[in-house]
Chain A
Amino acid sequence: MNQVTQFKLRIEHLSFFYGDFQALKDISLEVRGHEIFGLMGPAKSGKSTLLRVLNRMSDLIPGARVEGKAWLDGLDILAPDCDLVALRRRVGLVLSKPVPLPRSILENLTLAPRLAGKRDAGELAALAEAALKAAQLWDEVKDRLRDSALKLSGGQQQRLCLARTLAMEPEVILLDEPTSGLDPISTAKIEETLFQLKKNYTIILVSNNTKQIARATDRVAFLLMSRLVEVGDTHQVFTVPQDKRTDDYISGRFG
């Protein structure tokens, strides 16, 4: 089997700078299709930056410069002529702070698909329903789709953001510390949702909560100070880490 097409996302010798600061140093890794891939590490280790490079949201950082290569299936996503809008439709991003748009719940979901070309109201409604069901939010909001999204609770808003991403029918979902501000119940709901979504999507999850990584991911990469220290099967990394630094981080000796 061709090495390149076996993986959904592939990064080779990726370095990222903004201004003089180097946020990523020579990172190489692969993400398989239909797995939950975790990125863990202490603050400022480069996890969020790496995530943003994957859908080119990193372009928005002032002074951004990137070296190395990255592929989504066969597509070179770092090419200057890469269609960013199309890329971001295939690779969705959920931020750590829920950002419901100042619109109704339904409009939050249908805004992007409509601008992507889907015009039929019935099709949009079905899309919204499917996305809400997949994000496990449907039952809670099905009677008030026209209400403002700002009225939802924190956990609901975050699931709405997830549903919004799902409504674009992406292939990859990036999540940047999605449960950092949420209560344990909402957190559990989201983790369970991700587990269900794995069947149809490739998921990359950034977290500074090692227990969440241990619970929710299949494979994990450990980033420390902009470098990749170790990558592998989650169970293996957490029981027999190959690098001492990984062991220290997991045991809580620093973080």
Chain B
Amino acid sequence: MKSLLWALTGFTLLILVFIIVDISVKGLPQVTPLFLFQDPQDMGRAGGIFSTIVATAYITALALLIASPLGVGTAIYLTEYTREGAATRIIRFGAECLAGVPSIILGLFGFVLFVMKLGFGWSILSGGLTLAIMVLPIIIRTSEEAIKAVPQEYRLACYSLGLSQWQAITRIVLPAALPGITTGVMLSVGRSLGETAVLLFTAGAALRTPLSIFDSGRTMAVHFYILAREGLSMPNAYGTAAVLVISILLINLTAYTLMQRFMRRYS
């Protein structure tokens, strides 16, 4: 029985390895500096992915800019300003439920609120706002863990010296929790990079490099989806996939090691 279990586990690992190897072998040769810095040509049949990289960076940065203060603020409120009670349970429940909303529903929501009702149209702004809502639970959860991990003695020492609660938080607790919070940000970036359903319906699929936040833009994931679906270019599809997968893997790996080292420091 044990050997069957190990075989199945090996098989699962094989799937993972297969995915990474196939993408790398067929995709990495495509990833030349030219590929990275050239815009897509002929609807993506030729050329590179530069404008999509810019759009991805733009949207992800905007999403994090919005979600980080909200998420870290929520975490601070939950850990420092309240005791466990109805309020904290509602807030946490809200965050958990939000984490469970499927991306297509978020796409629908972003579409009706930001693109249509608020009139932002298909844009970096609509995409960033919707993505912010998607990553908010991740930031809340990791920030809360990070802040909780900071030893209570630090706060006591600060209060004994006549620091106010806010001073203790901003001068000692938050800086100490920063590695953990950064992990949450990195995990959010990893999540955003792979997101397609949300962005297809909020940021659109324009091929040009977006300049203002009201411009539409196509992220790497959306671009990859279109290339694959329309069968426009296998090599370019693989190349885009390689950039995506390798970036996400690297980010998640860094986030993971950061979190390990951070947790070890405080336990």
Asked whether A112 lies within 8 Å of B156 as measured between CB atoms, the reply is no
Q: Quick one: given A95-B153, A102-B176, are A57 and B163 in contact (CB under 8 Å)?
A: no
Q: Does A159 contact B (CB under 8 A)?
A: no
Is B160's CB within 8 Å of the partner chain A?
Answer: yes
Q: Is the interface of B mostly helix, strand, loop or mixed?
A: helix
Quote the shortest CB–CB distance from A7 to chain B (angstroms): 23
Mark contacts of A85-112 with chain B using CB atoms, 8 A cut-off: 1 yes-contact digit, 0 otherwise. 1101100111101010110000000011
* Residue with the highest number of chain B CB atoms closer than 10 Å, among A88, A95, A161, A165: A88
By CB atoms of chain A within 10 A, which of B158, B160, B163, B175 has the most?
B160
Interface residues of A in 36-71 (CB under 8 A from B): 55, 57, 60, 62
Within 8 A of A (CB), among B150-165: 153-154, 156-164
Q: Is the CB of B161 within 8 A of A112?
A: yes
A115 within 8 A of B: yes
Nearest CB in chain A: distance from B131 CB, A: 34
Selected from A97, A115, A116, A168, the residue in CB contact (under 8 A) with B153 is A97
**Residues of chain A with a CB closer than 8 A to B160's CB:** 55, 57, 88, 92-95, 165
Q: How far is the CA of A93 from the CA of B161 in the complex (A)?
A: 7
How far, in whole Å, are A35 and B133 apart by their CA atoms in the complex?
60
Number of A-B contacts (CB under 8 A): 56
Q: Does A219 contact B (CB under 8 A)?
A: no
Is the CB of B167 closer than 8 A to any CB of chain A?
yes
Interface residues on B, range: 10 to 19
B171 part of interface (Cβ distance < 8 Å)? yes
Considering the chains assembled together, what is the distance between the CA atoms of A55 and B159 in angstroms? Answer: 10
Q: Are B161 and A88 in contact (CB under 8 A)?
A: yes
B229 within 8 A of A: no
**What is the minimal beta-carbon distance from B96 to any residue of chain A, in angstroms?**
25
The residues of A that contact B116 with a CB separation of less than 8 Å are: none
Does A99 lie within 8 Å of B153, measured CB to CB? yes
Cβ-based interface call for A10 (8 A): no
CB-CB under 8 A for A112 and B163, given A99-B153, A99-B154, A101-B172: yes
Contact (A168, B161) CB under 8 Å given A102-B176, A111-B171: yes
Q: Give chain B interface residues in 129-183, CB to chain A under 8 Å.
A: 153-154, 156-164, 167, 171-172, 175-176
Our pick among B83, B156, B175 for the contact of A99 (Cβ within 8 Å) is: B156
Q: Chain B residues near A57: list those with CB within 8 A.
A: 156, 159-160
- Kindly state the separation between the CA atoms of A112 and B161 in the bound complex, as whole angstroms: 6
B162, B171, B175: which contacts A88 (Cβ < 8 A)?
A: B162
Neighbour of B162 across the interface among A97, A116, A161, CB < 8 A: A116
Chain B residues closer than 8 Å to A95, beta-carbon distance: 153, 156-157, 160
Q: A86–B154 Cα gap in the complex (Å)?
A: 19
Given A55-B160, A88-B161, A99-B153, A115-B83 contact (CB < 8 Å) = no
- Taken together as a complex, chains A and B put the C-alpha atoms of A101 and B163 apart, in Å, by 13
A161-B157 contact, Cβ under 8 Å, with A101-B172, A102-B176, A111-B171:
yes
Residues of A within 8 A of B157 (CB): 95, 99, 101, 161, 164
Task: State A101–B158 Cα separation when bound (angstroms).
Answer: 9
Residues of A within 8 Å of B167, CB to CB, are 115
Chain A 158-189: CB-based contact to B (< 8 A → 1; otherwise 0): 00010011001000000000000000000000
Jot down 19 A-B pairs with beta carbons below 8 A, ordered by A.
Answer: A57-B156, A57-B159, A60-B159, A62-B83, A92-B160, A93-B160, A95-B153, A95-B157, A97-B153, A99-B153, A101-B172, A102-B175, A102-B176, A111-B163, A111-B171, A115-B167, A164-B157, A164-B161, A165-B161
Residues of B within 8 A of A (CB): 83, 153-154, 156-164, 167, 171-172, 175-176
